[in-house]
Structure 1
Amino acid sequence: MAFARVNGVVLHYEVRGQAERPVIAFANSLGTDFRIWNEVALRLEGDFRLVLYDKRGHGLSEATPQPYAMTDHVQDLAALLDHLGIKAAAMVGLSVGGMIAQGLAALRPDLVRALVLCDTAHKIGNEELWNGRIKTANESGIASMADGIMQRWFTPAYRTPENPDYIGYLAMLTRTSPEGYAGTCAALRDADLTESTRALKVPTLCVVGDQDGSTPPDLVREMADLIQGARFEIIEDAGHLPCIEQPARTAELIRSFVTQVE
């Protein structure tokens, strides 16, 4: 395990692959840690240098007091990449991680060679939704919301008690720090990246699971339409986390796109 204090917070991270390879950095979704990328990373680490990390308030990273701003998460990632001496990376972000990736490309374009935006958007949800999530997380705990969240995350075929992986990812969600979860909900509530994303001039691939209940394909396509030249792909038989349900297809799309950019 590796930890670094950057931008006033301790982040847990891992670097895989050979130093001379092109770099891909990954940002994970709300209520998860970087283990959601494991099956994708296994397919890529032979050809790329991979940077994975737990964002503020998630996994083994420090949960600072809520609320958070999206700029906190963006600056955390920028500081981590600077700490690691990464000059430029293809940035892969899922859900809120995709918003962090968009924010990084706007704030520090020098660090972003390409974007892969997975199951995300320029704006996700509304004030009422996120205030409700914050209130529930703080007062009743994340477990009280878990059934609804898992319905949006995974397809019915995956979401069964007989599937041990499903039970494991349910545990990942419910063991997330309420401070980190609610803090990041506030960041999502207050973030509207429409104009900064419209101004991006970086090669971009947008992907989404065909059964995503959190950021449906039409919303992801709307984001893709904002970015000049962006490519849009739908991954079949996947919900909000295609890196878990369809890791081979997700890795294939990332590999071909990043290789083309490189």
Structure 2
Amino acid sequence: MKIAALDQLKIHYTDEGDPEGAPIVFANSLGTDLRLWDKLVPMLPPGLRIIRYDKRGHGLTEATPSPYSMGTLVRDAEALLDHLKVRDALFVGLSIGGMIGQGLAIKRLDLVRGLVISNSAAKIGMPDMWNARIRTTLEDGIAGMADGVLERWFAPAFRAGAELEAWRNMLIRQDPQGYAGCCAAISGTDFYTPTSGLRLPVLGIAGDRDGSTPPDLVRETIDLVPGSRFELMRGVGHLPCVEDPETYARILTTFIKETGHV
């Protein structure tokens, strides 16, 4: 367990693999912590420095009062990578993590040499939807929304398995201020114009059963960046690295090698 005591926030992170290797950074989705990538990490090629972190208000990272802006979440990632002296990383972001990755690449190209936008987009949902979720979270907690969230996260076959309960527990144990704060950050974000100006290797990944960021929404964002590539995974929902880590690892490893990151 590692904690970066930064000026504005204490961030929980892991720093594994080859300390001298090319860095790859993982940013997880709304309602999850860095364990989202547990199945994937052992399948990555050797020689990488693998950094994962819990965003503000999630996992073991400090929660501050909501709402948050996307700029705040991007600054958190920026501060952590500066603290760890990371440059030229491959940034892999899922859902809100993909939005953070877009914002970081827009702001600090010295930190990001390649970007994976997984199950994410330049804009996700409408403010009315997010405002309703924020109210429910702060007034009643996350548990009452859990069934609907899990339906969007996972395909039916996965939801029928025993592992689902662990993911439910992860979701409902997130800090309500952190969850609501990140909902507000997503609600206020529209990266269509700045993302269209990115000029770096970009890979998009979508799941054909994703109820949160459907494939067409993901593809629309990926197509903004010239030379980008899009991969559709079959039979999985919003968290494909959980449901089918083997396919996810194969897609990601191909991109890692194509970009010369190992």
TM-score by length of 1: 0.98
2:147 alignment counterpart = 147
Q: Which amino acid aligns with 2:154?
A: F
Provide the C-alpha distance between the structure 1 equivalents of 2:38 and 2:45, rounded to a whole number of angstroms: 10
8 Å contact 1:95–1:118 — kept in the other structure?
yes
State the Cα distance separating 1:41 from its structure 2 match. 0.7
Q: CA-atom RMSD, angstroms?
A: 0.9
Provide the C-alpha distance between the structure 2 equivalents of 1:61 and 1:55, rounded to a whole number of angstroms: 6
Provide the C-alpha distance between the structure 1 equivalents of 2:150 and 2:18, rounded to a whole number of angstroms: 35
8 Å contact 1:17–1:45 — kept in the other structure?
no
1:221 alignment counterpart = 219
- CA deviation profile, 1:76-108 (whole Å, cap 9, x unmatched): 001101101111200000000000000000011
State the Cα distance separating 1:45 from its structure 2 match. 6.1
1:83 alignment counterpart = 83
Unpaired segments ≥5 residues, structure 2: none
Question: Which SS does the other structure have where 1:91 is aligned?
Answer: strand
2:201 is aligned, of 200, 203, 210, to: 203
Decide which moves more: 201-210 or 15-24.
15-24
Q: Which runs of 4+ in 1 moved over 2 A?
A: none
Provide the C-alpha distance between the structure 1 equivalents of 2:152 and 2:242, rounded to a whole number of angstroms: 14
Question: Which SS does the other structure have where 1:149 is aligned?
Answer: helix
Provide the C-alpha distance between the structure 2 equivalents of 1:119 and 1:128, rounded to a whole number of angstroms: 21
Provide the C-alpha distance between the structure 2 equivalents of 1:236 and 1:58, rounded to a whole number of angstroms: 29
8 Å contact 2:45–2:253 — kept in the other structure?
no
Identity of aligned residues (%): 50
Provide the C-alpha distance between the structure 1 equivalents of 2:236 and 2:51, rounded to a whole number of angstroms: 24
Provide the C-alpha distance between the structure 2 equivalents of 1:148 and 1:130, rounded to a whole number of angstroms: 14
Question: Which SS does the other structure have where 1:157 is aligned?
Answer: helix
2:54 alignment counterpart = 54
State the Cα distance separating 1:237 from its structure 2 match. 1.3
2:248 alignment counterpart = 250
Q: Which amino acid aligns with 1:4?
A: A
- CA deviation profile, 1:197-251 (whole Å, cap 9, x unmatched): 0000010000001110000000001001111111000011110000100111111
TM-score by length of 2: 0.98
